[in-house]
Chains A and B, each alone.
Chain A
Amino acid sequence: QDVLEKEKTIPPERAEEAKLKAKYPSLGQKPGGSDFLRKRLQKGQKYFDSGDYNMAKAKVKNKQLPSAGPDKNLVTGDHIPTPQDLPQRKSSLVTSKLAG
């Protein structure tokens, strides 16, 4: 009952903000700021360094090469890129289903 009363006086946007901050306490103070925008500008960026790759290959000659982690956008240095990580040339493109 008390919680309902409290929510009535707080604008919905602020209540939502409180919810978000409760879930992610480390969320930055400037949401629309640099970090967020720069991530937007970096869309499509992939990382592959042939030097890294060959050095890693030499180091782990006898072991299995670690494959890409779930996030393929990891900066090199933290994980070793493999040819499997690279974007594959897509197979023959088919006609749109809208034209079907």
Chain B
Amino acid sequence: FLGAGGGNDIQWCFSQVKGAVDDDVAEADIISTVEFNHSGELLATGDKGGRVVIFQQEQENKTQSHSRGEYNVYSTFQSHEPEFDYLKSLEIEEKINKIRWLPQKNAAQFLLSTNDKTIKLWKISERDKRPEGYNLKEEDGRYRDPTTVTTLRVPVFRPMDLMVEASPRRIFANAHTYHINSISINSDYETYLSADDLRINLWHLEITDRSFNIVDIKPANMEELTEVITAAEFHPNSCSTFVYSSSKGTIRLCDMRAAALCDRHSKLFEEPEDPSNRSFFSEIISSISDVKFSHSGRYMMTRDYLSVKIWDLNMENRPVETYQVHEYLRSKLCSLYENDCIFDKFECCWNGLDRQVEFSVIVMTGSYNNFFRMFDRNSKRDVTLEASRENNKPRTVLKPRKVCASGKRKKDEISVDSLDFNKKILHTAWHPKENIIAVATTNNLYIFQDKMN
């Protein structure tokens, strides 16, 4: 396994866990998205209750050179509220589907957060000084009796306790008939896309009353609907290129320079299916739940129900690598269909360091029983780890887990039938520069770091 040996293998250690300990989880507390900002200093989470919590990494402590800074609460705010569209009799959930950070341009931080219908641009700014000594007001705000004012007093800025304020700067509404599943900021840092089940729109960050439709797969007759859009992302370097994935397991790459409406893809990525293996479940488990470009933009990764696939943008007819996340579930598909777990949308992510070091490329994704998986593209080794409060001694290396698919269960293995399918890890994130990962269980956020030498 990764982590079982020395050399370049990463040894993951528990660092922190955030959230309530009790097993009775309120629906609002279910974490729905996790995202590091571009420097890794900030870590944002969104939940089903429409709230955003941002953690900040504390500056490195010289006395504690063996661990990187801890993440502490920096700001928390209500991003979205529940709504009811009376015209369409539609209940709009406040659940935050995605958060995406803008790169930092000045002292303030900006992020986009979205629910099913509305995208919001939030400004998070710090205030650490305030004006004191007004001429006409007392410090508590009461106005002074003007007859007592005999000299001019000019207010000066004095330090105050740090206050972090979040304010909505733009609200991008009324552009989506269906439910938004993705937002992606363009490499031009001026525009972004939002994708729902059938359409993708292009926005300018400054303009809220206009949006361009760039993909529309809605059939004229809804009876003919065969697939929906499941995820979309802009290319990290090419500002005219984006991809979107579908419920049928295909990925389409589009170039906005080719046409105003990118209904005709430039490339179609699809792995041919073996018709003899086709079953009732084939299409459902081939549905892509997440698509992520590598930092170089040369590759993209997709997640379907049972696997992670790496695609080379130059090769459309099959992925270059396929990693099995939990193949043992293939013989449980009937019950997973009955309990709806087969529709769970797992995300995936690349390690951050591949931006600098192309020969160290690891991808990560979640599974059930609070397990998460990592695959090393170079060594082809993989590991299963668990996010659990039982393993929470700092600097103790996490023990790899193993699921016993069939036959005699060895000691320390867990059998497929003992897996808890209510404990899903759908959202994970990797620090852009360091080996620090954030793993969300249902209502807790775990932070793991590699064991520094």
Contacts and interface: CB of A to CB of B under 8 A. Distances in A.
Nearest to A28: B280
B19 A47 contact: no
Contacts, number: 126
B279 A13 contact: yes
Nearest to B331: A12
Contact of A17 (B84, B224, B281): B281
Contact of B91 (A11, A13, A87, A99): A87
Contacts of B287: 32
B229 to A, nearest CB: 11
A32 B225 contact: no
A14 B332 CA distance: 11
Interface string B297-339: 0000000000000000000000000000000001111100110
Interface stretch (A51-59, A61-69, A89-97): A89-97
Given A31-B281, A32-B284, A41-B178, A15 B331 contact: yes
Interface in B9-57: 18-20, 28-29, 31, 45, 47, 49-51, 53
Interface residues of B, number: 55
B82 A90 contact: yes
B49 A96 contact: yes
B226 A93 contact: no
Given A16-B333, A41-B178, A97-B443, A31 B45 contact: no
Given A31-B283, A45-B90, A87-B84, A98 B197 contact: no
A17 B279 contact: yes
B227 A37 contact: yes
B283 A87 contact: no
Contacts of A14: 279
Interface in B218-270: 222-228, 247-248
B81 interface: yes
Given A15-B331, A20-B334, A31-B283, A99 B76 contact: yes
B116 interface: yes
Interface string A1-29: 00000000001111111011101000100
B317 to A, nearest CB: 22
A34 B331 CA distance: 26
B91 A46 contact: yes
Interface residues of A, number: 38
B92 A13 contact: no
A100 B226 contact: no
B257 to A, nearest CB: 31
A11 B178 CA distance: 37
B76 A16 contact: no
Q: Is the interface of B mostly helix, strand, loop or mixed?
A: mixed
Interface string B102-120: 0000000000000010000
B349 interface: no
A96 B334 contact: no
B325 to A, nearest CB: 16
B220 to A, nearest CB: 14
Contacts of B20: 97, 100
A45 B227 CA distance: 20
Contacts of A20: 280, 333-334, 337-338
Contacts of B283: 31-32
Contacts of B49: 93, 96
B282 interface: yes
Contacts of B82: 87, 89-90
A37 B90 contact: no
Nearest to A11: B277
B445 A13 contact: no
B247 A98 contact: no
A53 to B, nearest CB: 13
A34 B223 contact: yes
Given A40-B197, A96-B53, A19 B334 contact: yes
15 contacts: A16-B334, A17-B334, A27-B280, A31-B283, A37-B226, A38-B222, A47-B89, A48-B89, A86-B84, A93-B28, A95-B51, A95-B76, A96-B49, A98-B445, A99-B76
Interface of B: 18-20, 28-29, 31, 45, 47, 49-51, 53, 73, 76, 78, 81-82, 84, 88-93, 116, 178-179, 197-198, 222-228, 247-248, 277, 279-284, 287, 330-334, 337-338, 443, 445
Interface of A: 11-17, 19-21, 23, 27, 31-34, 37-38, 40-41, 43-48, 86-87, 89-90, 93-100
